[in-house]
Structure 1
């Protein structure tokens, strides 16, 4: 079933690769270049899952996650951190803030799609 997914990453090339993967699986994709742009998109529209990088200018992924978890409409939205960072302390911080999954780049498309399917099945 098609879901609307917000990709948040400062790398245009990575956003395009992820977008191709998600659209190829039938999903609708929204894009933001940083956490601030992503917050501006949390305006009441349907977003089924957020896929965010950790290291971004303006507002990083964990800062974005903190805002999402406090947002009345999006607090329960699954958030996947898609990042090159595999430091355990960052993953623990993400878990404490309510991250849904942590996937290390480079990612395997089938693994990413399986995580999305698992997190968006209601």
Structure 2
């Protein structure tokens, strides 16, 4: 089973040409605007993605494209040009990593759901 794929495959999945991950992360700013009375200018942020094949961490950021001030419910937040907002970490594990992590934390694997290519596992754990 190939859970830790070629680094380009993983990076391309998150840095996709259609912009799905970028839209997902930028949507958080839209929601903050609506739900927390903020004034993010979405056009002033750009999606940036990294993947570290050694640690398995795939990180998403939003980059401020200018010096700007954002207000969230009467609180000013200052962003410098090129400052990052750390949006998410999607951790990639090998099958052996998953088994070891379950064992080390006192769990056992009770079941697994795999995709047709066997590139992903949703692992169901239960406490021993």
> Considering the TM-score relative to the shorter chain, is it more than 0.5?
no
TM-score (norm 2): 0.28
TM-score (norm 1): 0.29
Which structure features the higher share of strand residues? Answer: 2
Q: Which has the larger radius of gyration?
A: 2
